[in-house]
Amino acid sequence: MPRALLTAAFGLLVLAPPVRADWLDLVAGTTLRGIDYREGRAGKKAVFTLETGETVAIEPGRIAAFRPSPPGETVEHRGKQVALREKVRALAAERRKREAAAERDLEAWALGTIVSPEEKKLADAARAARERFEALPAAERERALVRAVARSSRKSVRTLAARELASFKGTTPLEALARATVRDREKAVREAAMASIASIGDPAAGERFAPFLKSPERVERVRASRGLETYPARRAVPVLIETLRKVWADFGRGYFFQGTERSYVSDYSLVSGGTGFSLVEVADPTISKLADGVVLDVDVRRVEMEAHVRALRKITGQDFGADVVRWREWWKASEAAAPEAR
């Protein structure tokens, strides 16, 4: 099958075609108003654009029903009767404009935190940007900070966003901070994110690190375990044990060489050549190398293994080292004895 057809077929499996559904009823009793409802397929979330212009993703299990509005129905928008789609598009465009302005203000604010006192113009601009940003509604500030900590190319902006997210509660800020703690390449950003998680004080904070134990990157798995060591989460124990098993099964050793290599001419060899009328012998140099330095033999997975063991020890109060079998036996017995702790 051609690549284009395969791509199209895969897209159809993920999202169904748009359904005209202006009212979406949730299991919790809430009703949402909007357009362009797309029902999720293959375990994906449904997508719905709200009347406010915001697009949200909703777990399929939360949706009770959707109801289309009567044909030709209009809604009030700033003193006029317009089609709902027209209202949504106008509000979405305004939302994008505000988000871009908030992003610029965050960058100006962050720049002001690193300029010298002599750069008064930049400092004044940063102060004004901070005031504009802090005047935004809390929901808009939260969204802007979550985007910035995940996407900004500037270390100073990501650090500022991670620090400011300490003022927000809920799942979204915690997930953004945990992601930054595990994935950000800058230590300053990771430290700011970890400090904000501590300030939020959510008892379930540790659970936000558990998904990163399945990361293909070893450094991310190590950071996730360190996060769980700081914020213990019992639900992460099975994943930690499985991660420890994979590390132990693939445990190995490696080495690296650090030194200097020098090339020199150690000898010459006579090489014959020429044509049918003459014979020529030339000296061909023999090149040898002289190396000095050190070869370090390292346990390439010991650091990760120890990180997982420390997290397990902190969460459970048990210490079976890297013995995966004993950890599994203890967990099975513990769950059987106290199923309510799951």
Over range 147-166, report the average pLDDT. 95
The predicted structure's pLDDT at residue 69:
82
- Chain-centre distance of CA 163, in angstroms? 17
Residue 223 to residue 234: CA distance in whole angstroms: 17
Does pTM top 0.85 for this prediction? Answer: no
Residue with tokens 């430290």: 191
In the sheet where 23-26 sits, what is the strand order? 55-58, 46-50, 31-38, 23-26, 63-67
Over range 134-151, report the average pLDDT. 94
Q: In the chain, where does DSSP find H-type helix?
A: 3-14, 84-112, 120-134, 138-151, 155-164, 171-183, 187-200, 218-230, 237-249, 302-316, 324-337
A 10 A CB-CB count for 2 gives 7
**Tens-digit pLDDT profile for residues 270-304:** 555 555 555 555 556 666 666 666 555 445 467 88
Over range 101-111, report the average pLDDT. 91
Task: Report the alpha-carbon angle 292-295-301, nearest 5.
Answer: 160
pLDDT interval class at 4 (50, 70, 90): very low
Over range 69-76, report the average pLDDT. 83
**Tens-digit pLDDT profile for residues 292-340:** 665 554 454 678 888 999 999 999 999 988 888 999 999 999 887 765 5
Q: Is the pLDDT of residue 16 over 90?
A: no
**Tens-digit pLDDT profile for residues 240-262:** 999 888 876 654 445 555 666 66
Residue 110 to residue 112: CA distance in whole angstroms: 5
Tokens encoding 227: 């996060």
Q: What does the mean pLDDT of the chain come to?
A: 81
Percentage of the chain with pLDDT > 70? 75
